């Protein structure tokens, strides 16, 4: 646990008692603060009270009297689409609003660091797609070289559940826009921006607000190094804002769509080859085509970002390349789960939006595509170009018929995962890939994208008799 520093003797309100909320309450208490908690869910309140925490509702401005700070769980919208009433009360009472990420950055460094030979460092990764794989890949590389490291945030443990840092340790954080949007302190040593595509637009009142939430990771604290994907206008703009000029190597530009040139620091992948250039000269190269855990251009982008982040720590290209080959990938992200009779079954349940699904479709040929679910804003037009590799779509979800009508490929309405997998497997021929890449949220049929992916795995195993 990371005890919260600087709040000793203060009463701190904690709104939302899920994983991050309870973790924040414990860390506040460990640091000498008095947490006062609330969650609209009675079961969550009961769990907190069982640990000895005081729960009370915040209904008027008077209830904020004596509160030093309000800590809001990332899953709770605070401003859009409508202001949260408790957050509004805090703001009206002049109470600062924060989250567990802000508390972490406020509290991570301690006096013990004075005796360390190498100060611990934090690498924080954000973006629309690929941030989980990028974060896990950085962590895997660090483990491969024997560097002390921990993984947390939107993946793994909550940030305040981390162990206090040891000499030379690196903490890798995956941070969503929900987490960067409210944190009052954001001071990573290395910050990574993978890419940007429309997502969570209701939460941020549009693309501008969504980008602004991501941008805070780079603008609030000023990382020593920034790794920026520049294949979208927003990333190119962000790199330009952070850089002092063409030779400023504090900004490392990353691309999978173009060869990057100039006197600065660039990492890009073309035709399956990763290249690193500094001061106009190539200093590193990796053939990514044989890296089984990182298939497709979208994973090559993740590889470039992870490579660049690890290069800022002084790791050699050959060491990073060796770690790439032992990376098995993450569950539900372009995960090969079976091969039978020349047919490959791939689980990319995490492809919950159009952009991530399009990247999954571009990674394979001869696709039997299982898609559908709770459609997000913007429609499915962005899938048309990527659908060239699709032989047939098998559509699931409560609104499967409406979803299927928007597709530019032959589509069959299946409704359930069981039916879709059975039909796709029966019609698949040698060389085909049965790919789950839903391009939609899972909540019409499943509690999470993980559960949807698990169902896909179960149905594939049933069809194959395993």
- List pLDDT tens digits, range 73-90: 998 999 999 999 999 999
Expressed as residue numbers, the domain containing 355 is: 335-464
Residue after which a domain boundary falls, among 325, 350, 379: 325
Residue after which a domain boundary falls, among 299, 325, 351: 325
pLDDT value at position 444?
A: 94
pLDDT value at position 152?
A: 96
- Binding-site positions for ATP read 127-133
Residue 16 and residue 115 in one domain = no
Is 2 part of any domain?
A: no
Share of the chain above pLDDT 70, in %: 100
Residue 131 and residue 39 in one domain = no
Residue 157 and residue 196 in one domain = yes
Q: Which of 167-171, 219-223, 252-256 has the lowest mean pLDDT?
A: 219-223
Residue 353 and residue 259 in one domain = no
Residue after which a domain boundary falls, among 98, 131, 155: 98
Please give the mean pLDDT across all residues of the chain: 95
Contact, 166 vs 201, CB < 8 A?
Answer: no
Rounded CA-CA distance 424/289 in Å is 27
pLDDT value at position 466?
A: 75
Is 254 part of any domain?
A: yes
Q: How confident is the model at residue 355 (pLDDT cuts 50, 70, 90)?
A: confident
Rounded CA-CA distance 155/136 in Å is 8
Q: Which of the pair, 376 or 87, is modelled with greater confidence?
A: 87
- Binding-site positions read 127-133
Looking at the 3D structure of the chain, how many domains does it have?
Answer: 3
Q: How confident is the model at residue 292 (pLDDT cuts 50, 70, 90)?
A: confident
Q: What is the CATH number of the domain that holds 83?
A: 3.40.50.720
Residue 19 and residue 76 in one domain = yes
Residue 208 and residue 286 in one domain = yes
**What mean pLDDT comes out for the span 34-44?**
96
Q: What is the CATH number of the domain that holds 221?
A: 3.40.1190.10
Q: How confident is the model at residue 385 (pLDDT cuts 50, 70, 90)?
A: confident
Residue 290 and residue 370 in one domain = no
pLDDT value at position 118?
A: 96
pLDDT value at position 377?
A: 75
**What mean pLDDT comes out for the span 253-282?**
95
Give pTM, 2 decimals.
0.87
């Amino acid at each position: 646990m990371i005890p919260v520093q600087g709040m000793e003797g203060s009463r701190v309100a904690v709104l939302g008692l899920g994983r991050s909320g309870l973790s924040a309450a414990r860390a506040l208490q460990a640091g000498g603060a008095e947490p006062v908690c609330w969650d609209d869910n009675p079961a969550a309140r009961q769990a907190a009270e069982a640990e000895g925490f005081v729960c009370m509702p915040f209904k008027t401005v008077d209830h904020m009297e004596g509160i030093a700070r309000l800590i809001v769980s990332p899953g709770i919208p605070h401003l859009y689409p409508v202001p949260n009433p408790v957050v509004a009360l805090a703001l009206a009472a002049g109470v600062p609003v924060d989250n567990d990420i802000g508390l972490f950055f406020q509290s991570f460094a301690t006096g013990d660091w004075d005796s360390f030979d190498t100060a611990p460092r934090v690498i924080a990764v954000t973006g629309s797609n690929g941030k989980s794989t990028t974060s896990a890949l950085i962590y895997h590389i660090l483990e491969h070289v024997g560097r002390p490291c921990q993984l947390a945030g939107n993946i793994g443990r909550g940030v305040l559940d981390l162990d206090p840092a040891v000499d030379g340790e690196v903490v890798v954080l995956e941070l969503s826009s929900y987490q960067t949007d409210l944190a009052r302190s954001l001071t990573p040593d290395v910050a990574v921006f993978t890419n940007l595509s429309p997502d969570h637009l209701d939460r941020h009142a549009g693309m501008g607000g969504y980008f602004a939430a991501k941008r805070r990771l780079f603008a609030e604290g000023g990382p020593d190094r920034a790794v920026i994907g520049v294949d979208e206008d927003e990333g190119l703009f962000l790199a330009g804002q952070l850089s002092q000029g063409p030779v400023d190597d504090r900004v490392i530009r990353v691309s999978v769509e173009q060869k990057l040139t100039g006197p600065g620091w660039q990492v890009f992948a073309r035709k399956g080859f990763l290249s690193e250039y500094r001061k106009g000269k190539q200093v590193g190269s990796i053939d990514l085509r044989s890296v089984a855990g990182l298939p497709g251009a979208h994973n090559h982008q993740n590889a470039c970002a992870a490579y660049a982040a690890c290069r800022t720590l002084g790791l050699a290209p050959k060491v990073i390349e060796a770690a790439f080959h032992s990376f098995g990938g993450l569950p539900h992200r372009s995960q090969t789960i079976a091969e039978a009779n020349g047919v490959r079954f791939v689980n990319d349940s995490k492809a919950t939006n159009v952009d991530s699904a399009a990247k999954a479709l571009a990674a394979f040929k001869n696709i039997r595509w299982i898609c559908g679910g709770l459609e997000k804003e913007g429609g499915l037009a962005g899938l048309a170009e990527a659908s060239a590799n699709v032989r047939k779509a098998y559509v699931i979800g409560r609104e499967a018929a409406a979803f299927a009508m928007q597709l530019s490929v032959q589509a069959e309405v299946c409704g359930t995962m069981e039916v879709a997998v059975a039909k796709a497997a029966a019609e698949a021929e040698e060389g085909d890939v049965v790919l789950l890449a839903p391009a939609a949220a899972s909540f019409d049929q499943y509690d999470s994208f993980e559960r949807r992916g698990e169902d896909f795995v179960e149905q594939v195993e049933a069809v194959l008799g395993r």
